[in-house]
A and B are shown apart, each in its own frame.
Chain A
Amino acid sequence: MQAYTWADHRLFPTQEGALLFGVDHASLFALDSRARDTLGRWRSADPLALEDVPEEARGVLEELRDAQVLVPLVPHRRPRPAAVPELDPAGVPLETLVLEVAQTCNLRCSYCYAHGGTYGGTPRLLDPETARRAARTLLERSGDRRGVTLVLFGGEPLLNFPAVRAAVEEAEAAASAAGKELTLSLTTNGTLFTPEILAFLRDHRVLVSVSIDGPPELHDRNRPYSGGGGTYGDVTAGLAALAQWGIPAAARVTLAPRQWDRIPEVFDHLLGLGVREVGIAPASPVTPELLPTADQEEDLLRGFRTLAERFETEARQGRCLPFANLLDLLGRLHAGRAKGAPCGAGYGYLALDADGRYFLCHRLAGEEDFAAGDLETGPDLEKLRSALRAAAAPRRELCAHCWARRLCAGGCHYENHLRENLLGRAPGDSCRFIRPWLELGLRLYARLRAEPENPVMQRIARRQEC
């Protein structure tokens, strides 16, 4: 007689019944009320023999078995490790390289994590020769990856256009020699475009992200020039120039906790400026003042929830509201991709600073605990390993018991580092926000799924391929 046991799952009640999320597979099922009630009654029976279950419940339980929510109990099998597995970065090919082209900036954003673009050092520029070398290295280390991504970052990368040009040209040559697809992207504050730069970005199909935080008064408070004075006028002129040159731009918004109650307004303002997509990032708590209160976290969720509702309304008409955070989440939920690591940092994703030193990611550049070798000697595997291990350790227990562990896998290392090491917060400080956000996405996905022909659903399905 086969005995069964319950695999880790989470139920989200709905009007029709419930959504069932299979924790380990990141699978999502809809249960009708009968299935929900049957599951509720039998959930505490563990182990469970299907033969002993009355006829009327057995059908549902068999369906749950097919959904791998009820799994065979194998006496001698090692118990399923609940924690997020520790992946070894060894042998993971390089896929994305972020170049800190200019570790300096002409702005002084109030929330900047890079200390005015310098990442805590003296202002400096990547020299074009190093940029070329880095671009070649990306291709050389990309193993069997069909495509690679070069990100031009800073500070403000356009303060060092010679290195941008060098990196792009070299990467293109190396990619075409290797027969690989190259994606180029550039994140800029949008104040330094010249016709020469615009022509270059257009001709080389560089994807441009412009940091802009919303209406003038808000934007200028967040993003002033280093000599003082607002940048809103110049950034919007930059966006207009991009549009004129036919370069599609995405807006990257960063908001301090006290601005989180203005999310829908900020979003609308940017759409009005004609950007292709808007992504909204809560500012990282680089100082204690940027650590949100519980009320502010609620504001953030409320803002995202409002945008999600609007996304749904638009989707029902077959239109896609270009809210990047949500599109990314829906794409991941659609695939049901179970993550073994929170992000690519250290696994195929590395940043190289202006001195040619590797760090786990762009935001961790300059943090010695996350340094991992240099361009000369290559990424230092041991350092990558120990940095990743140390980053995961404080939350390991916590995440092992969390239903979201395969979607979140512990959250952003940088965010955790700030909260736990700099501000002394307990591990898991961001979970209060992460889990409701994921639940919001799951519920929205399930509702949209009811219309599989909807063009927005198809766009979401395509998105996770990119």
Chain B
Amino acid sequence: MMKQKTIQALNEKARAIERLAQGEAKNVEALSGPPAMPQGCTTIFDTGWETNPRPEYPVGNCQPSARDYSGCAGDCWWPAQVPDGLTNQKVFHEDCLVIAKDFRNLKYD
């Protein structure tokens, strides 16, 4: 059953935050299929083999990288290569299917 929503996003920023949350939910669903494995290793964008076993974003990345995602999006001090999901490229994972090849599609503006 769909839960009745009690909160409605009004401005664009609020909608972006909401989409971000929905995106995370989608990634959780993605766990039921085989996780997308990273291709290759150890460029600055690629991650290792120990893929993130937790139902958290980013599903399928290695653990150190997964930690970077949750630790460094937002207010972290570390200038990580993580689009912050709000003001940058919200759909970066769609534009960079094979990140080692497509990383130039990332737009940090």
Asked whether any CB of chain B lies closer than 8 Å to the CB of A74, the reply is yes
Q: Which of A20, A34, A35, A66 lies at the interface centre, i.e. has the most chain B CB atoms within 10 A of its CB?
A: A66
Within residues 60 to 109 of chain B, which ones have a CB less than 8 A from any CB in chain A? 70-71, 75-77, 86
Given the interface pairs A77-B76, A78-B77, the reply to whether A67 lies near B7 with Cβ below 8 Å is: yes
Within residues 57 to 92 of chain A, which ones have a CB less than 8 A from any CB in chain B? 59-60, 63-68, 72, 74, 77-78, 80-81
Chain A residues in 8 Å Cβ range of B14: 22, 25, 27-29, 67, 336
Inter-subunit contact B7/A25 (CB<8 Å):
no
B1-32 vs A, CB cutoff 8 Å, 1 = contact: the mask equals: 00101111111111011100110000000000
Asked whether any CB of chain B lies closer than 8 Å to the CB of A449, the reply is yes
Q: Of A20, A81, A333, A446, which is within 8 A of B7 by CB?
A: A20
**Assembly CA distance A31 to B14 (angstroms):** 12
Q: Of B6, B11, B12, B75, which is within 8 A of A63 by CB?
A: B6
Inter-subunit contact A335/B17 (CB<8 Å):
no
Inter-subunit contact B71/A29 (CB<8 Å):
no
Chain A residues in 8 Å Cβ range of B11: 26-28, 333-336, 445, 449
Chain B residues in 8 Å Cβ range of A24: 75
**Assembly CA distance A335 to B75 (angstroms):** 20
Inter-subunit contact B6/A80 (CB<8 Å):
no
Chain B residues in 8 Å Cβ range of A35: 6-7
**Assembly CA distance A31 to B3 (angstroms):** 15
**Assembly CA distance A74 to B74 (angstroms):** 13
Q: Which of B6, B14, B18 lies at the interface centre, i.e. has the most chain A CB atoms within 10 A of its CB?
A: B6
* Chain A nearest CB, measured from B5 CB (Å): 7
Chain A residues in 8 Å Cβ range of B9: 27-29, 67
Q: What is the interface size of chain B, counting residues whose CB is below 8 A from a CB of the partner?
A: 22
**Assembly CA distance A274 to B16 (angstroms):** 39
* Chain B nearest CB, measured from A218 CB (Å): 37
Q: Of A30, A335, A446, A461, which is within 8 A of B13 by CB?
A: A335
**Assembly CA distance A421 to B84 (angstroms):** 39
Q: Which of B17, B21, B71 lies at the interface centre, i.e. has the most chain A CB atoms within 10 A of its CB?
A: B17
Chain B residues in 8 Å Cβ range of A20: 7
**Assembly CA distance A446 to B14 (angstroms):** 12
Closest to A449 in B: B10
**Assembly CA distance A336 to B10 (angstroms):** 10
Asked whether any CB of chain B lies closer than 8 Å to the CB of A234, the reply is no
Chain B residues in 8 Å Cβ range of A72: 70
Asked whether any CB of chain B lies closer than 8 Å to the CB of A268, the reply is no
Closest to A30 in B: B8
Q: Binding site of A, secondary structure by majority: helix, strand, loop or mixed?
A: mixed
Chain A residues in 8 Å Cβ range of B76: 77-78
Chain A residues in 8 Å Cβ range of B18: 66-67
Closest to B86 in A: A25
**Assembly CA distance A63 to B75 (angstroms):** 21
* Chain B nearest CB, measured from A28 CB (Å): 4
Asked whether any CB of chain B lies closer than 8 Å to the CB of A429, the reply is no
Asked whether any CB of chain B lies closer than 8 Å to the CB of A397, the reply is no
Inter-subunit contact B17/A64 (CB<8 Å):
no
Closest to B76 in A: A77
Chain B residues in 8 Å Cβ range of A337: 13
**Assembly CA distance A337 to B13 (angstroms):** 8
**Assembly CA distance A9 to B14 (angstroms):** 13
Chain B residues in 8 Å Cβ range of A34: 6
Chain A residues in 8 Å Cβ range of B77: 78
**Assembly CA distance A66 to B71 (angstroms):** 17
Given the interface pairs A77-B71, A77-B76, A336-B11, the reply to whether A68 lies near B17 with Cβ below 8 Å is: yes
Closest to B8 in A: A30
Within residues 16 to 53 of chain A, which ones have a CB less than 8 A from any CB in chain B? 19-20, 22, 24-32, 34-35, 38
Q: Which of B11, B14, B75, B76 lies at the interface centre, i.e. has the most chain A CB atoms within 10 A of its CB?
A: B11
* Chain A nearest CB, measured from B104 CB (Å): 16
Residues of B within 8 A of A (CB): 3, 5-14, 16-18, 21-22, 70-71, 75-77, 86
Q: Sort A-B residue pairs by CB-CB distance and give the 9 closest, nearest first.
A: A336-B13, A66-B21, A35-B6, A27-B14, A27-B13, A28-B10, A28-B11, A336-B11, A30-B8
17 inter-chain pairs at a CB distance below 8 angstroms, sorted by A residue, are A22-B17, A26-B13, A27-B11, A27-B13, A29-B8, A29-B14, A30-B7, A30-B8, A60-B6, A63-B7, A65-B21, A67-B21, A77-B71, A333-B11, A335-B12, A445-B11, A461-B12
Residues of A within 8 A of B (CB): 19-20, 22, 24-32, 34-35, 38, 59-60, 63-68, 72, 74, 77-78, 80-81, 333-338, 445-446, 449, 461
